[in-house]
Structure 1
Amino acid sequence: MKKLLSFFILAFGSFLLNAQVTITQATGWLETAYVKWNPVSGADSYRVYYTGGGFTNKIIDNQLIRNYGSYFRADILGLSPGNYTIKVAPVTNNVEGTATVSGSVTVLPHDRNGFAHSNGRIPGAYNLDGTLKANAVVLYITQNNKNTVSLNVTGATTNPCVGLQTILDGFKKGYDTRPLAIRFIGNITDPSYLLNGDAVVENKNIAASSITLEGVGSDALINGWGIRIKNATNIEVRNLGFMLTDAAEGDNLSLQQDNSYIWAHNCDLFYGKPGGDADQAKGDGALDAKKSTYITFSYNHFWDNGKSCLLGLSEGTTSGLYITYHHNWFDHSDSRHPRIRYYSAHVYNNYYDGNSKYGVGSTLGSSVFVEGNYFRNAKYPILISKQGTDVANGATGTFSGENGGVVKAFNNFMTGQTAFIPYNSSTAASHFDAYVASSRNEVLGTVLKARSEER
């Protein structure tokens, strides 16, 4: 009987070792790749490896492997562009079974155009080729460990630092200059310790410091709280969803003050919690920036937001303030795409769809180049405060009582708009929404000014 039992145990163990993973999808994306597979009966866990980018069968962190019930998924981050294969092996009693290797997948580079990458700076914990910078620290944040995750941080008040915000507080002092990649996994509600409802990122503007906050896969969600950046440089935020923030600042993601070289991209921005003001039914700002420079906001999706992007507030100067908005999707969001004070802004290759109030809004001291955008059913694609469409037919102003700025437009497509008034020296020399350039490099003469500046 014992021999028979031993035979069945050996046979079953052999079956498990020979059971293969069925890969259902393997795909390359932007400096990442992912693989999905069906569960293997009897497997305790899985190991995932990749080959490519100078590596052969490099194992990935276990945290990147997630169980979705009917399937498993693993994401591989920090890949340089190129072709890769992914290998998945079932594990039983710490013994690997027969592995399955995917076909070749192609990893593409991120688009790093924009002011954030000026002057040789590289925001975030990744190199220009998408790989992690030398000596980078990788931190995984989940719903289960958000309050208990720990890290020793040079110069922190106490070590180890425990919890997300406490770790960020340690880096705030600027003594620890290791590149930091914080990877969020799944739906994460408010950690127990936040600063007025936000996770606040600071690094004392130390040029040697760099921090990335990123989502893993397609379902990383900052749910009910926000991320606020201040007194910081070389910061990247990517691949995160934001919704229902009730932070005191009211924004999903905000640049509060004294920041430089900030890159926020490939994020999804949903409603915040309703506020007390009439225009806060969908929450306050989705992606706001103040008193910061060398910024790029790109490839973000704004989902029906009320107020998408406030830019500038009380800077009081037009000197040295630069930002790029490109390849964003303003999807039935109402206004502020962006609303600009003081800044020099390049707004290009964005998609505006069903915007009920206005698209780009230029106010006090701003200089805006609106290039190559697609406006579909955007009520007023471009506005300059106190002139043109903003005050047409006796209107008192759509979005601001401040003096306007100057907008140069080139190669934009508009359809379904209520009104757009281009500059015309004969018929619209004062009341216009933008100067439509005949070439990209056309220089606007000093005679062209916002109407409110002429009085």
Structure 2
Amino acid sequence: MRRTSARFKLVSAVAVTTAVAALGGVTAAQSAAAGTAAAPLAAGTPTGFGAGTTGGAGGSTVTVDSADEFIDAAESDGPLQIRVTGTIELDDMADVTSDKTIVGVGTSGVIDGSGLNISRADNVIVQNLTFRDSDDDGINVQYSTNVWIDHNDFTNPNDGALDIKRASTDITVSWNHAYDVDKNMLLGHSDSNASEDVGKLHVSYHHNWFDGTTQRNPRVRFGDPVHVYNNYYDNVSSYGVASTEDAGVLIEGNYFEGTDDPYHLGEASSDEGSIVARNNHFVDSGSGEAGGSVASIPYSYSLDPASSVKSIVTAGAGVGHV
């Protein structure tokens, strides 16, 4: 990985103060000195399957602007809130451990050259970052639970923008903007991984802008239910959603524009799953292929009218809109 000459050491809430920016007028060090934790860094709260995610809330807050600092913070033990300012240039996927919040500052936070690997972790928030030109995935999530991926931009990854796999579950993917992406969002990596994935891969995708992406918005294996609602599909060139290998996907309240194949059953050599589709809005698009049954969504949620989703999502998705 491209690294600076000095490595960033996390030792205690007080020692880390030189890297901490003011948050609501109070630094993490001042909070620690007063015996209280820093205020939560992430804006808003997740809904859907990832609703229980709190990230690094309760931990100190640090500001990083180099690969060294970012990697050491993301890999550290214990809860931590990480503010990213400027471009972090990575040569390899950076590991993210449990109880982390990673948030870009303003519109300046960029992860360039490679991406994030959230593996065997619990309770992670990634918000308001641009992921560009990764040599692998923008974000890879595997063997992880309670993850919230929110208000990020994804562009030009070598592989997937956001892949979720290997028994990961209880995840919300919300208000992201993906553009110049072929293999966008994969859910479940292999037809042969049923032993790990059945009963897992519960993910909510809502208010995302799939902006001229090609495919996998998402492509789903095994997860049932998976909830795809209030997303804007904008001239998606190959297909929107594919449900395969006994997956169950509820597709509702989405806006499909210029998308010939909004959703279908099966994909390539993968067997069919199930799709229940309702209350979607179509403009210059196909009608989609649905069939089978999907398990009940186990949480309450508010659904925007499908006809309003384009304006809502384009005004609010991506970096700078938290």
For the aligned pair, the TM-score class normalised by the smaller chain equals 0.7 to 0.9
TM-score by structure 1 length? 0.53
* Residue aligning to 2:287: 420
Corresponding position: 1:252 with 2:138:
yes
Do the aligned residues in 2 keep the contact of 1:363 with 1:400 (CA within 8 Å)?
no
Structure 1: runs of 5 or more not aligned: 1-46, 51-57, 62-76, 81-108, 127-132, 150-163, 172-176, 204-209, 273-282, 386-398, 422-432, 442-455
In the alignment, does 2:48 pair up with 1:114? yes
Shift of 1:169: 4.0
* Aligned equivalent of 2:290, options 427, 434, 444: 434
1:304 is displaced (CA, Å) by: 2.5
**CA offsets per residue over residues 255-293 of structure 1, 9 Å max, x none?**
0x2110111000000112xxxxxxxxxx21001100201
1:214-262 Cα distance to aligned partner (Å, 9 max, x none): 111112100112001101000111110000111xxx101110x211011
Cα 1:79–1:284, aligned 2, differ >3 Å: closer, same or farther?
closer
**Pairing partner for 1:382 from 263, 286, 293:** 263
Structure 2 residue 233 is matched with structure 1 residue 355: no
Distance 1:167 1:260, change over 3 A: same
Query: How far 1:379 sits from its partner (Å)?
Result: 1.9
Residue 378 of structure 1 aligns with an amino acid whose one-letter code is T
Alignment match, 1:161: none
AA matched with 2:229: Y
| Whole-angstrom distance in 2 between the partners of 1:184 and 1:341 | 33
**1:198 and 2:93 aligned:** yes
Q: Pick from 301, 305, 310: which aligns with 2:177?
A: 301
Deviation at residue 167 of structure 1 after TM alignment: 4.4
Contact 2:53–2:125 at 8 Å: present in 1 too?
Answer: no
Q: Does 1:400 find its partner at 2:268?
A: yes
Which protein, 1 or 2, shows the higher relative CO under an 8 Å CA cutoff with sep ≥ 6? 2
Q: CA deviation at 1:346?
A: 0.3
Against the structure 1 CA distance between its residues 258 and 436, is the aligned structure 2 distance closer, same or farther, given a 3 Å change threshold? closer
Structure 2 gap ranges (5+)? 1-20, 29-38, 298-322
Letter matched to residue 207 of structure 2:
H
1:155 aligned residue: none
Call closer, same or farther: CA 1:320–1:187 in 2, change over 3 Å.
closer
Code of the aligned partner of 2:203: I
1:59 is displaced (CA, Å) by 5.1
CA 1:436–1:184 in structure 2 vs 1: closer, same or farther (change >3 Å)? same
The residue aligned with 1:365 is 246
Quick one: which amino acid aligns to residue 261 of structure 1? N
| Offset from partner CA, 1:10-53 (integer Å, 9 cap, x none) | xxxxxxxxxxxxxxxxxxxxxxxxxxxxxxxxxxxxx9896xxx
Maintained 8 Å contact 2:233/2:240: yes
Name 1:336's counterpart in structure 2.
Answer: 216
Following TM superposition, by how much is the alpha carbon of 1:110 offset from its aligned partner in structure 2, in angstroms? 2.1
SS at match of 1:213: strand
Q: TM-score, normalization: structure 2?
A: 0.74
The alpha-carbon distance between structure 1 residues 384 and 188, as it changes in their structure 2 partners (threshold 3 A), is same
1:181 aligns with 2:94: no
**Matched AA of 1:342:** F
How do residues 273-352 of structure 1 correspond to structure 2 at under 5 angstroms? 283-291=158-166, 292-314=168-190, 315-317=193-195, 318-344=198-224, 345-352=226-233
1:287-342, CA deviations, whole angstroms, 9 ceiling, x for partnerless residues? 11002011110000001211110110243142233110000000111110000001
Q: Is 1:211 aligned to 2:92, yes or no? A: no
Distance 2:194 2:97 in 1: 24
**1:434 aligned partner, one-letter code:** A
Cα distance change on mapping 1:320 and 1:59 into 2, 3 Å: closer
CA distance in 2, matches of 1:112, 1:214: 14
Q: 1:49 to 1:304 in 2, by over 3 A?
A: closer
Contact 1:123 1:233 in 2 (8 A): no
The answer to whether the 8 A contact 2:74-2:100 is kept is no
CA distance in 2 between partners of 1:232 and 1:303 (Å): 27
Instruction: Find the aligned partners of 2:212 and 2:61 in 1 and give their Cα distance.
Output: 36
Q: Which residue does 1:279 correspond to in 2?
A: none
Larger Rg: 1
Which amino acid counterpart does residue 288 of structure 1 have in structure 2? D
The separation in 1 between residues aligned to 2:261 and 2:246, in whole angstroms, is 21
Which residue in the other structure is 2:7 paired with? none
Q: Report sequence identity in percent.
A: 34
Residue of structure 1 in register with 2:54 after alignment:
123
1:227 to 111, 116, 120: 116
Residue-by-residue CA offset, 1:358-396 (whole Å, 9 max, x unaligned): 0011111210000100000112001111xxxxxxxxxxx
